[in-house]
Amino acid sequence: MITWQLTSTATGQALAVAFPNGSVVTVPGTHPTFDPLIRHLRTTIDPDPQRVRDLLNVGATTADELRQLSTRVTYTGGLIHFDGQALDNALTRHLVRLIRAGDRSYGRFVAFLENLADNPSGRSRRQLFTWLSERDMTITPDGQFIAYKGVRDDPGNTSIHSGRASVDGGEHHGHIPNRVGSVITMPRNQVSDDKHMGCTTGLHVGTWDYANSFGQRTLIVSVNPRDVVSVPKDCEFQKLRCCRYIVLDVIRSPLDTPSYDAA
């Protein structure tokens, strides 16, 4: 029979679980499945060893679920790899957030990884991780991530700065309209990939704080990680330059869920 001991102090918790075969495991209170584990142990007279093992080995079980969706996922040394490369901390943190929230929408996470792998620039990918490392990420069903854009308060949600971009396939000069549902694009080679340049060519999106303070109205947009070009150093890495985004909605408060579905 499984026995366990929970130690709680003002600074944290730790749980030790002893299995019938003599093996013992200790995990900290920050373990992704700590809460369901404790719930199961407390509410079950004779806890199921396999269920407890699955909860403890959440990395392996999650990787198994991801592998069902993509053969490009592997799990070694406690790290999930995609195409043989360990996931960045920011992505692992998102996965832990999904696990904690009991959100099993791994399809969109895998779609995000596949989209990310399509980004032709390693430097752009690394800069995206810098942007994501400071904040929680929200992903759409087709593997795009959510960003925010500050615009002018007019019917067309036009951009603050003027420039050239393609809106739903049509070329626009001047203040770019950002109507809900529009796809805004510009050729990738015209988007500056220099992170040292703060204000230069490219489609700019940012964090909630940045966008909300920048524009009169704040839009929620989805950006394909494939289309990310650079993250400027100014404004504490809050901005992001891309070559394509889709306007999803006008919002008044930031999203705090790991997943987003269109309203």
Partner 1 sequence: MRNPTSGVVVEGTLRADSSVAMSIDPQGMAHIMGVLTNLYSDAPLAVLREYSTNARDAHQAAGIDRPIEVSLPTALDPTLRVRDFGVGLSEQDILGVYARYGSSTKRGSDEQVGAFGLGSKSAFTLAQQFLVTSVHDGRCTTVLFALGADGIGSVSVLHRGEAQEPSGVQIEIGVPQPHLVRATAARFFGTWPAGSVLVDGATPVSVRDGAVLTCEGLVLADPQSEVTAEGWNLVMGGVGYPLPRALLLRAVRDKDAPEARAALGTHGFRSVYATVPIGAVDITPSREGLRDTARTVRAVRSVLDALPDLLATQVQAELDAAGTATQAAWLLAGYQRALDKHLLPTARLTYRGAPIGAPVTVPLTTMTLTARRGSRGGRELRVDDNLLVSTANMRDVLVVTDTPKGAARNHPARRYLTQNSDGTQWVVFTADSAATFDWFAYGPGSPVKTVPYPMFRHQIDEYSTGTTRRATVYRTLAPQDGEPVERPVPWLREQPPPVVLTPQFFGSQVARQVFHDRPMVLLTDRQSLAGLIRRVPGAKDGERLLCDGARHLLRNLSDYQRETLTASVIVDRFEQTARNIDRVFGRRAQQVPGMRRLLADYQRAQRICLDRARDRTLLISAHHTAGTPLPPLRPEHQRQLDDLLDRAPLLTALLRAGQLTDDELDAALAYLTTALPNAA
Q: Which of 93/233 has CB closer to partner 1?
A: 93
* Tokens describing residue 198: 């703060």
**Counts of helices then strands in the chain (DSSP H, E):** 8, 15
Question: Which residue type is seen at 140?
Answer: T
Q: Which stretch binds partner 1 (CB under 8 A): 47-55, 72-80, 150-158, 212-220?
A: 72-80
Q: Letter for the amino acid at 218?
A: T
- Choose, by CB under 8 A, the member of 35, 142, 154, 236 that binds partner 1: 142
24 binds partner 1 (CB under 8 A): yes
Instruction: Report the b/e string of 112-146 with b at 16+ CB within 10 A.
Output: bbbbbeebeeeebbebbeebbeeeebbbbeebbbb
Whole-number Cα distances in Å, 124 to 31, 115, 176, 227: 31, 13, 24, 9
We find the least distance from the C-beta atom of residue 26 to partner 1, in angstroms, to be 5
CB of 216 vs partner 1, minimal distance in Å: 26
| Under rule CB under 8 A, residue 154 binds partner 1 | no
The piece of 44-52, 54-62, 123-131, 231-239 that touches partner 1 (CB under 8 A) is: 54-62
| Radius of gyration, alpha carbons of the chain | 22
Cα angle, residue 114 at apex, residues 112 and 117 outer, rounded to 5°: 110
Q: Which residues, numbered 95-124, are part of the site for partner 1 (CB under 8 A)?
A: 95-96
Cα gap 184→178, rounded to integer Å: 8
C-beta closer to partner 1: residue 68 or 79:
79
8 interacts with partner 1 by CB under 8 A: yes
Where do contacts with partner 1 occur on this chain (CB under 8 A)?
Answer: 5, 7-9, 12-16, 18, 22-32, 57-59, 62, 77-80, 89, 92-93, 95-96, 141-142, 164, 166, 168-171, 173, 181, 183, 185-190, 192, 200-201, 246, 261-263
